[in-house]
Amino acid sequence: MQRYVVQRLWHLVPVLLSVSVLVFLMVHLVPGDPVQVMLQEYGSPAQEAALRHSLGLDRPLAVQYGTFLWRLLHGDLGRSIHSGRPVIAEIALRLPYTLWLTAASMAVAIALGLVLGMVAALWHRRILDYAAMIAALAGISLPSFWFGLVLILVFSYYLRWLPAAGADTPWSLILPAVTLGTSAASIIARLSRSSLLEVLRQEFIRTARAKGVNELQVLYRHGLRNALIPVLSIIGLQFAGLLGGAVIVESVFGWPGLGRLAVDAIFNRDMPLIQGIVLIAAAIFVAVNLCIDLLYALVDPRIRYS
């Protein structure tokens, strides 16, 4: 197992280097002069020259990347043009909120998706199967911003059970987490249903049933564990979708996370802050996929032994 972990960690090095190159090139991929884009028409030639020098854009491209990578290794992502504060400090204030929201949304997605998938697989081609798949289709089809507004209207305006916006209480997390996790739950439900149906048709399941093993034990001990590998893959991919969807959901619910910070940075043309947010989000996604790879080895011992 230790050898498998070391191999997966070693494979992260070229991935993270590629991410750093893409994030660095964001400034140079902006159409036109990035300094003029950030300052718009309000900057004087002296201000443009000062900003270009502070960002290091007056140096050769290779030197700029070397400086960017060196600062990155020391935890320096530059300074926000809008606030003047270090980018890492701006992100550190907002990142915990986004991580809480993403973790809660993923918990909703996994719990709801696995339950719907198991119900649909156990009652295949029956009323519960059709109802679960209709619910999954509705969850995929509903736009997150519209669904969030509906939840606010019902549970905050009419019923007054939950707060509509902000992050003042733990109850404020429920509506954005349900909004963000519903679409991912629908995808997990459909995949877990098909994967579980395939496993339940295998010979070892028939053997377990022939031996008189309880149906719930057949489902949990033999069926679900063998059906989890493709489900774990889609969970890792859905995590990236939740990070991306948090931009919209955080704006709808006034959640003070990285999503709202990214929207503000885009409106302010704050390129160093946008670079930092994209880099941190990409690093989180890579780390989550590493965890998924390690879960593969825990669920299926054949992976770590191979």
What is the C-alpha separation between 186 and 134, in angstroms, rounded?
Answer: 10
Closest CA to 133 of 72, 180, 190: 190
Task: Assess whether pLDDT exceeds 70 at residue 64.
Answer: yes
pLDDT tens digits, 270-296: 788 888 888 888 888 888 877 777 776
Distance from the Cα of residue 88 to its chain's centroid? 20
84: enclosing H helix or E strand: none
pLDDT tens digits, 133-167: 898 888 888 888 888 899 999 998 888 888 888 77
DSSP conformation class of 57:
T
CA atoms within 13 A on the CB side of 255: 31
The tokens for 296 are 């593969």
What is the C-alpha separation between 128 and 202, in angstroms, rounded?
Answer: 23
Is 77 in contact with 87 (CB distance < 8 Å)?
yes
Which domains are present in the chain? 96-256 (1.10.3720.10)
Kindly report whether the global pTM for this prediction surpasses the value 0.75. Answer: yes
pLDDT tens digits, 198-241: 887 777 777 777 777 776 777 777 777 777 777 877 887 777 77
> DSSP 3-state assignment of 86?
strand
129: enclosing H helix or E strand: helix 127-141
The per-residue pLDDT of the chain, averaged, comes to 81
Please work out, in degrees rounded to the nearest 5, the angle formed at the alpha carbon of residue 297 by the alpha carbons of 291 and 302: 160
